[in-house]
Structure 1
């Protein structure tokens, strides 16, 4: 019986899932994680089973991400670093690294000879993470999905505080001073880029290969451009980059099975 691989990337805000067979993506799904990572993973698996007719098929389930340990029905669990690296290489061969900005952390991964060899992760505070950006969007009353259209990338109001709590106070103060919201958002994106720059600057990257940005914020072309300017390296992305962790989980599980 043919094996079907289901990768589940249980993030702090979104649960991303992928169905793969023989290194081919069959289906993808993203649902909110909510308070129970296991429940969102079970919901995702149920939806993917139903709409792809997977009942009766031999499924191999691999979990990664923030809530991976809660997914007790998974056959394998893998770290986020490993999965994002292999998922990124699947999506864009020839990259030298990964930038992933999650809801609660940000990480920069170095890749050489088809393997992750080094990484730096910020998981001690929300500075430069998706939570940081969501806070800014809420205070500026800008939908997260519309930041590229709204932001004035030519004029940025500097956000000096990296701490989310202090940055929120700073944004509220700037609004009270009648500063333009589009320019404040540009400053927020630059603040995130500076945080990534601090991480990337500690890794020995070169200028001849791009980095791939993964995760939910990879949908923002403006944020990608802002990060690329800050770190001095080419940064790319693609539509499937949101699912890089789940794709990598499938690939790692397939390697275990073979």
Structure 2
């Protein structure tokens, strides 16, 4: 399958008229004049369907399918979240998201199993409207926004992010709005660059188990790099690069200490 080509406000798919790559029917053109790309059909676990943007600009991406690879798109001031994933065995990679607008201001939101977020650059999320503008966020509140397992977040850049690089809430989060269904576990957060401008933490983990946080760079800004709370047990933290201005690398509560391995926690989450 050849890559979809975005021209003006219509998505054209070379070689075959494929209905599962569309500009969203209710999409509003963003400031850059590009519509949001909606992906609704995937391949198989062994042969996921690949959508290659080759640098093409879109107004955002919604993945509503399993067994998908989305590669090489760009977006400037898309409607937030710049990328939203609902599915299993989904990879998003080599994508640039700059200055997402509206909503809660997030760069990427994800919900599902076996999700890989690799080599993306997300920048200029903005809290000024009262948003909670994270680089990446997930939660588990209902049948659509489900708990996520087997998640790999590696080698991404979160640049000039007002809020957190990663805000992750499981199904029994302290916010009190979780679904109580399933578990969020088996995550890797590795090799990422995190520049947090306003939040207290670069990474905040609430009710996510079996998390590895390794080889990341925590740039200046937050009070502490990692917060672990509400039974976020079995976390392994190692080999991260901490800016000297950050006093505490790991903050943790008592409920999350079981199975913890890493630097001695020195503050609250």
Q: TM-score range by the shorter chain?
A: under 0.3
Which one has the bigger strand percentage?
2
Q: Which structure exhibits the higher relative contact order, with contacts defined as CA atoms closer than 8 Å and separated by 6 or more residues? A: 1
State the TM-score, normalizing by the size of structure 1: 0.27
Which one has the bigger helix percentage?
1
